[in-house]
Structure 1
Amino acid sequence: MKKKQIIVSLHDYDILKTLCYHAPGSDKLREELDRAVIKKGKVPDDVVQVNSTLQFRDERSGAVRNVQLVLPAASNIQLGKLSILSPIGTALLGYSAGDVIDWEVPAGKTQLHILKVVNTPAAAV
């Protein structure tokens, strides 16, 4: 199955590409960035970017989660701050509200349905 192209702001792309060079376990993120459409201007408001707050449903378990996608240093799952390097964090990057993503997580294959993107601070950069 061909994956949908994802959208990443130039600002996020630069930060994440650098992160990939220094962080172990960033192979999946590097793959996602290699297929991304890089936006130099404003990214649509419903696209998941670094620092976006969003709600998604894991279609396998039915669990609905509210998270903020953050860089690894700011991650704290108890506070809902999901690292971009986590399997789910990497999966969500660049997709839009309404998208369903097939993704491999440590527990097996799942589908993540993005229900809404509350804000995208990086989109204004």
Structure 2
Amino acid sequence: MKARNNSSRQIFITDFDLERLEELIETTSRNSSRDGRYLHELEQELTKAEVVTPAGIPPDVITMNSRVCLRDMESGEDLIYTLVFPGDADLENNRISVLAPIGTAMIGYRTGDTITWQVPGGTRRFKVRKVLYQPEAAGDYHL
């Protein structure tokens, strides 16, 4: 599968996740300016997304509450993260908020894709090795 970058990739999102993420953007933008940049990036990603029903999402797509194995392209290290809403984020347990830079970058990517995003120290790249758990593929449509 070809590497995709943040500006040209086609992402998939479930209608249920889209609704919850739009609510999150609205609520967070009213209450906090701290996540403003990432809110805007997430909002941009959502406007490009192909919206599907939970049953229609491909099983290799990173959705909310998915557990994924990413390979750090610089170090070669494999990392396992779960993509969660901000209230469930817990870095010690590898639960990454969708509003964190890597979280915003992860949503909608598929197994085999390369995630590229800017951090203060330069550019980071991760390859999506495998979606270890996706709620929709497991039949858990409303976590």
Q: TM-score, normalised by structure 2?
A: 0.80
Structure showing greater Rg: 2
CA distance in 1, matches of 2:105, 2:42: 8
Select the residue among 25, 40, 45 that pairs with 2:53: 40
Q: Report how far residue 28 of structure 1 moved.
A: 1.1
Aligned partners of 1:97 and 1:114 also within 8 Å: yes
Unmatched tracts of structure 2, length 5 or more: none
Number of the residue aligned with 1:7: 12
Contact persistence 2:59–2:136 (CA under 8 A)? no
Describe how 1:60-99 pairs up with structure 2 within 5 A: 60-99=74-113
What amino acid maps onto 2:27 in structure 1?
Answer: H
The corresponding residue for 1:29 is: 42
Aligned pair count? 125
Aligned residue in 1 for 2:122 = 108
Gaps of at least 5 residues in structure 1 are none
* Residue aligned with 1:21, SS: helix
Report percent identity of matched pairs. Answer: 33
Secondary structure of 1:97's aligned partner: coil
The structure with more strand, counted as a fraction of residues = 1
TM-score, reference length from structure 1: 0.91
Tell whether the 8 Å contact from 1:46 to 1:119 is kept in structure 2 after alignment: no
Asked if 2 retains the 8 angstrom alpha-carbon contact of 1:72 and 1:84, the reply is yes
Which is worse superposed, 87-96 or 102-111? 102-111
Q: Runs of 4 or more off by more than 6 Å in structure 1? A: none
Alpha carbon RMSD of aligned pairs, Å? 1.6
